[in-house]
Amino acid sequence: MNLKEKIASTVDRIAPELIKLSHDVHDNPELGMQEFKACAWQVELLRKHGFTVEEKFCGIETAYKAWKGTPGKGPQIAFLAEYDALAGMGHACGHNTICASSCGAAISLAEALEGQEACVFLFGTPAEETLGCKVAMTDAGAFDHVDCAMMMHPAPDINLVGRGGLACTGVNVEFFGKAAHSSTPMKGINALASTIALFNAVNAQLHLWPNKSKCNGIITAGGTASNIIPDYSACRFTLRAERKNQILPMYDDMVRLANAAAAMTGAKVKIEHDTIMAERYCNRVLDEAFAANMETLGEHCQWPDPKLMNGSSDIGNVSLVVPAIHVYLTLKAGVTSSHTPQMREAARSERGDQVVLLAAKGLAMTGADVFEKPELRKAMREEYEKTALPNKC
């Protein structure tokens, strides 16, 4: 058998283990930085199949680095796993299928390359939905030694390659006022009034930011009773922009607006932002190889409509340091949006199981292309240096 036949055979053989992992993670949703069960199940499976695993990788409790082969010799091929759930929604983004498919890709490619000079890596990357631990891992140099990094993300309705992503960060704002009875509001300092003023100011600011920039927010605290002047109020925003270097100027505007909103009432304000997820640079050479492999598996992948609205992910930071792809396979969920109950159910459906196995094969086969074709490695590196590297700073 050639490499790709070996990969397909291995994925079929370990399919029950991969589907069990997907179902177990789905049935036990854990929020970011709390994915202890999901992490432990993956580590156990990888060690069973001969991988060396470093737990608590980069000092992150639920991260890991696994590898099998010859580190530093021959092609160094990495896959990425996500496994955190959404607050109140479980695995409505289908991360259970991501970790299972990436485990399948790593195990099958490593088995196919047994005895060759190459190394297969799998990185467990927690909290994609919140903190975005790939940012810290990238900053720590975790991916500097690999030739490429690949993962699949489930989609509700379409198979896609080449989809980009926006830069993103979360912003937390707190206002501290003074409580008073609502019959004598002049004796208090209304923290909620500052929060409302901030939302109005943000709405006025939106048209001054670059065209693809977005800002959405929610009030997370606004008082406990309508007859008490709130002495504390808090809100959270998500900022998105076409480029990472546009996020900090937007945040500076948020600081200015928050201070103005505090000054309106006399409240005090605290504002801070999360780590910044960079925009995503999908490697066209790798995407084309993945799409070709999926055709052999009976799945056609499309390139995105230029007008397609993009979300954000911490793989953007990875794509700035190494050729990377973030492909999509449809769960046929009957909706057009992730983060929905329909997506949650589809992630554990018969199609969800099928996507786990298809993605494991397609990703591993693309890894086989990287191993077997020096010209592809050269082309993917040139593509990275042309598109992503100039934006690395």
For 279-324, what is each residue's pLDDT tens digit?
Answer: 999 999 999 999 999 999 999 999 999 888 888 999 999 999 999 9
Taking the model in full, what pTM does it have?
A: 0.94
Burial of 196 (0-12, 13-18, 19+ CB in 10 A): middle
Which CATH code is given to the segment(s) 3-165+280-391?
Answer: 3.40.630.10
Q: Does this chain's domain 3-165+280-391 share its CATH topology with 167-273?
A: no
User: Is 167-273 in CATH node 3.40.190.10?
Assistant: no
Burial of 243 (0-12, 13-18, 19+ CB in 10 A): middle
Q: Residues of the chain whose pLDDT is less than 70? A: none
Q: Say what the pLDDT of residue 21 is.
A: 98
b/e per residue 162-172 (b: at least 16 CB within 10 A): bbbbbbbbbbe
- The first and second tokens of residue 214, run together, are 């977005």
**Residue partners of 2: CB distance under 8 A and separation at least 6:** none
Q: Say what the pLDDT of residue 309 is.
A: 83
Q: Say what the pLDDT of residue 335 is.
A: 86
Cross-strand bridge partners of residue 328: 153, 160
Q: Say what the pLDDT of residue 307 is.
A: 81
For the chain, domain boundaries: 3-165+280-391, 167-273
